Amino acid sequence: MKLLSVVLLLLPLSICLAEVVKDFTKSCPGFFATPNDVVSPPTGFTGTQYKQICQTRNNQAEFATLYDTENRIPVYSAYRFTGQMKCNRLDKWHTEPELEAGMQDQNQKTCLVNQAENGDYKKSGYDRGHLAPVFLATSQNCADATFTLTNAAPQAAMFNRNTWMRTEKNMNDTLTKDCLNVGWRAFVVTGVVPGTDTLKNEGRVRIPSHFWMAFCCLDNNNKPKHSGAYIGQNNDNDCPVYRWSVQDLEPELTELYRKQFHNIPDFHFTFFAGECYTETETNELQIIENKKRKMSQNERNKDCQSNKRQKL
Ligand X SMILES: *[C@@H]1O[C@H](CO)[C@@H](O)[C@H](O)[C@H]1NC(C)=O
DSSP label of 123: T
**Residue from 80, 85, 77, 59 nearest 138 by CA:** 85
Stretch binding ligand X (CB under 6 A), from 165-173, 222-230, 238-246, 283-291: 165-173
User: Position 151: which residue type?
Assistant: N
Q: How many residues bind ligand X (CB under 6 A)?
A: 6
Residue 176 makes contact with ligand X by CB under 6 A: yes
Residue 166 makes contact with ligand X by CB under 6 A: no
- For the bound state, the minimum distance from the C-beta of residue 215 to ligand X, rounded and expressed in Å, comes to 13
Residue 82 makes contact with ligand X by CB under 6 A: no
- For the bound state, the minimum distance from the C-beta of residue 178 to ligand X, rounded and expressed in Å, comes to 10
Residue 26 makes contact with ligand X by CB under 6 A: no
User: Position 99: which residue type?
Assistant: L
Residue 172 makes contact with ligand X by CB under 6 A: yes
Are 209 and 256 in contact by the 8 Å Cβ rule? The answer is yes
- For the bound state, the minimum distance from the C-beta of residue 299 to ligand X, rounded and expressed in Å, comes to 28
The DSSP annotation for 137-178 comes to -SSHHHHHHH-BGGGEEEEEHHIIIIIHHHHHHHHHHHIIII
How many whole angstroms separate alpha carbon 76 and alpha carbon 109?
Answer: 28
Stretch binding ligand X (CB under 6 A), from 59-67, 167-175, 210-218, 284-292: 167-175
Residue 305 makes contact with ligand X by CB under 6 A: no
Residue 84 makes contact with ligand X by CB under 6 A: yes
The nearer residue to ligand X, 84 or 282, going by C-beta atoms, is 84
- For the bound state, the minimum distance from the C-beta of residue 302 to ligand X, rounded and expressed in Å, comes to 32
Are 20 and 28 in contact by the 8 Å Cβ rule? The answer is no
Residue 170 makes contact with ligand X by CB under 6 A: no
- For the bound state, the minimum distance from the C-beta of residue 245 to ligand X, rounded and expressed in Å, comes to 21
How many whole angstroms separate alpha carbon 121 and alpha carbon 95?
Answer: 13
- Cα–Cα distances (Å) from 21 to 27, 43, 89, 122, 248, in that order, read 7, 17, 27, 30, 32
Stretch binding ligand X (CB under 6 A), from 51-59, 66-74, 168-176, 195-203: 168-176
User: Position 273: which residue type?
Assistant: A
- For the bound state, the minimum distance from the C-beta of residue 84 to ligand X, rounded and expressed in Å, comes to 5
How many whole angstroms separate alpha carbon 87 and alpha carbon 140?
Answer: 5
Residue 254 makes contact with ligand X by CB under 6 A: no
The nearer residue to ligand X, 138 or 237, going by C-beta atoms, is 138
- For the bound state, the minimum distance from the C-beta of residue 186 to ligand X, rounded and expressed in Å, comes to 12
Residue 139 makes contact with ligand X by CB under 6 A: no
Residue 161 makes contact with ligand X by CB under 6 A: no
- Cα–Cα distances (Å) from 182 to 108, 219, 220, 275, in that order, read 48, 9, 11, 21
The nearer residue to ligand X, 81 or 272, going by C-beta atoms, is 81
- For the bound state, the minimum distance from the C-beta of residue 90 to ligand X, rounded and expressed in Å, comes to 18
How many whole angstroms separate alpha carbon 220 and alpha carbon 223?
Answer: 7
Residue 177 makes contact with ligand X by CB under 6 A: yes
Residue 23 makes contact with ligand X by CB under 6 A: no
**Residue from 20, 296, 290, 259 nearest 167 by CA:** 290
Residue 173 makes contact with ligand X by CB under 6 A: yes
Burial class (CB in 10 A: 0-12, 13-18, 19+), 108: exposed
Q: Which residues bind ligand X (CB under 6 A)?
A: 84, 169, 172-173, 176-177
